[in-house]
Structure 1
Amino acid sequence: MSEPLGLFGGTFDPVHYGHLRLAEEAIAHLALGGVRWIPAGQPPHRGPPRVTARQRLEMVRRATTGNPRFSVDAGEVEAAAPSYTVHTLERLRAELGDQQSLVLLVGADAFAGLATWHRWRDIFALAHVAVSHRPGFPVETASLPHELATEFNNRRLTDSGALRLSPAGGIVTFAMTQLAISATQIRKLLANGLSARYLLPDGVLDYIQLHSLYRST
């Protein structure tokens, strides 16, 4: 079986160093062959992003260029439908085959809400789930909804090496370096005409400035 492939979805509104560090550390902690970034086109769980889907896609492309282990998937942006994770996983399964190990990367907060996702139980038939958390603050079943806690206990893999032994179905956790950066913070800085440099790659910031994104109207 080939190396596991990480899948990292999100609105990336805008993409920043916290996102990049999560993907980089996931490769190291989970022995992934790479990470495929999947910007959401029409995210169903939040309000419309501040900029267009194609602008967010372009920012992710600029942020990830130069890292041979990163690739960008435009499938959700190009689809004229809400960006449900289970649909994306079904598309990737059809593309990559039944034997490729797929690892969905999510943060601890997003994982806690997994049971509200569309057809969430089907996700485990299509991919593993890797949950990043703060160092010293592991994922606790007591903080999860009962049905999700049951899945967590039944599917948890104690060795990330097990990800390469099957294509889907497991849950792993890993601690990642915490960077106190958020897209909300960046948008607020930009809206107020303040500097967001060193919070996101220069190429992304240049694109934002070129197209006057996130400015107050």
Structure 2
Amino acid sequence: MIRSPDSSGPITRLAKPHQTYTLSPVNLAFFGGTFDPVHRGHIAVAESATKHFELDRVLFVPAELPPHKQDHVLTPFAHRLAMVALAAQGRSTFIPSDFEAKLYAETGKPNFSLETIRRLKGTLKKADKLYFLVGIDAFLGIANWHRAVELLKECEFIVANRPGYSLGDIAAALPEQLRPKAEVLKAARKAGGGLAPSGAVMAFSGVTLHLLEDVSERVSSTQLRSAAASSGRRLEGYVGDAVAEYIRKTRLYRAAATSDSTAPKPESTPSPKKKSRR
């Protein structure tokens, strides 16, 4: 059971517990993030990846203490995990996982993706296949992630793309040691009319990137929190009904009220943060 953060009672388990050992090989994807809150954009990406890569499981892994957000005030982990469990309701392949929280409890240090992936692989069989599922917004800053070259070689990446980004743009985001030559990047930017085609694969220098078509709902977690601060009723359509109800009942985000109380709007194209380290 997952218990509510205020210990007022149990929250019914809505998805399978985090288990990786099975009798037959499995395809699974690690999907990390703060999930503060988990919204329909996250769900759309996970559903598309499940379909295109025949995934047996998508592990939704909320970060206990993400290195790139140590200065941010996050909603308590138990709340974020509970919302992920609610969002996973009725989706047997979606698994809410406290894997990073357990690592944090063990080490007391921020969760770097490289350490998480290596520890997670240690729970798998050799025949299992692990993917790292990530949105284009986050991937554009991957060169600044903690030991990014090693991370990119640990497992294959699935990058959820959006219109306007070419194969060349995505390859150019790689650490310099892995980046293709300029002429290759130029050709890649022209391929497919300047857009990265759905299902395209880039494999070089020990790195494999799979691309998903535009599946993002372009929902901003920041704007969701702002909307929830003024009225939880504004969240329907941006998060699942169960998650919206949970936010209302627990009064999450009310303390973070801001002057912007409008409904969420599409996110603008992000600029990678040079100091982001995951």
The equivalent residue for 2:31 is 8
Aligned AA (1:198): G
Aligned AA (2:113): T
1:60 matched to 2:84:
yes
Could you tell me how far apart the structure 2 residues matched to 1:11 and 1:5 are?
Answer: 19
SS of equivalent to 1:216 = helix
SS of equivalent to 2:123 = helix
Q: Is the 8 A contact 2:32 2:60 kept in 1?
A: yes
Match of 2:117 among 89, 114, 123: 89
The equivalent residue for 1:185 is 223
SS of equivalent to 1:99 = coil
The equivalent residue for 2:145 is 117
Following TM superposition, by how much is the alpha carbon of 1:128 offset from its aligned partner in structure 2, in angstroms?
Answer: 0.6
The equivalent residue for 2:158 is 130
Count of equivalent residues: 211
The equivalent residue for 1:165 is none
Following TM superposition, by how much is the alpha carbon of 1:95 offset from its aligned partner in structure 2, in angstroms?
Answer: 0.3
**Compared CA separation, residues 117 and 136, structure 1 to 2 (3 A):** closer
The equivalent residue for 2:7 is none
Could you tell me how far apart the structure 2 residues matched to 1:193 and 1:22 are?
Answer: 27
Q: TM-score, normalised by structure 1?
A: 0.84
**Aligned CA-pair RMSD:** 3.0
Following TM superposition, by how much is the alpha carbon of 1:3 offset from its aligned partner in structure 2, in angstroms?
Answer: 4.3
Q: Which structure carries more helix by proportion?
A: 1
Aligned AA (1:41): E
Match of 2:176 among 147, 154, 169: 147
Could you tell me how far apart the structure 2 residues matched to 1:159 and 1:113 are?
Answer: 21
Could you tell me how far apart the structure 2 residues matched to 1:120 and 1:177 are?
Answer: 25
- Larger mean CA deviation between 77-86 and 20-29 belongs to 77-86
**Compared CA separation, residues 161 and 178, structure 1 to 2 (3 A):** closer
Following TM superposition, by how much is the alpha carbon of 1:32 offset from its aligned partner in structure 2, in angstroms?
Answer: 2.0
Following TM superposition, by how much is the alpha carbon of 1:189 offset from its aligned partner in structure 2, in angstroms?
Answer: 0.6
The equivalent residue for 2:236 is 197
Could you tell me how far apart the structure 2 residues matched to 1:64 and 1:182 are?
Answer: 19
Aligned AA (1:119): R
Could you tell me how far apart the structure 2 residues matched to 1:133 and 1:190 are?
Answer: 28
Unaligned stretches of 5+ residues in structure 1: 163-167
Greater relative contact order (CA < 8 Å, ≥ 6 in sequence)? 1
**Sequence identity (%):** 32
The equivalent residue for 1:19 is 42
Q: Is the 8 A contact 1:11 1:49 kept in 2?
A: no
Following TM superposition, by how much is the alpha carbon of 1:68 offset from its aligned partner in structure 2, in angstroms?
Answer: 0.7
Following TM superposition, by how much is the alpha carbon of 1:125 offset from its aligned partner in structure 2, in angstroms?
Answer: 3.4
**Compared CA separation, residues 124 and 180, structure 1 to 2 (3 A):** closer
Structure-to-structure mapping, 1:29-48, within 5 angstroms: 29-46=52-69, 47-48=71-72
**CA-to-partner distance for each residue in 1:147-169, whole Å, 9 max, x for gaps?**
1761798xxxx99698xxxxx94
Structure-to-structure mapping, 1:72-111, within 5 angstroms: 72-78=96-102, 79-80=104-105, 81-111=109-139
Aligned AA (2:115): H
Following TM superposition, by how much is the alpha carbon of 1:99 offset from its aligned partner in structure 2, in angstroms?
Answer: 3.5
**Compared CA separation, residues 118 and 190, structure 1 to 2 (3 A):** same
**Compared CA separation, residues 121 and 99, structure 1 to 2 (3 A):** farther
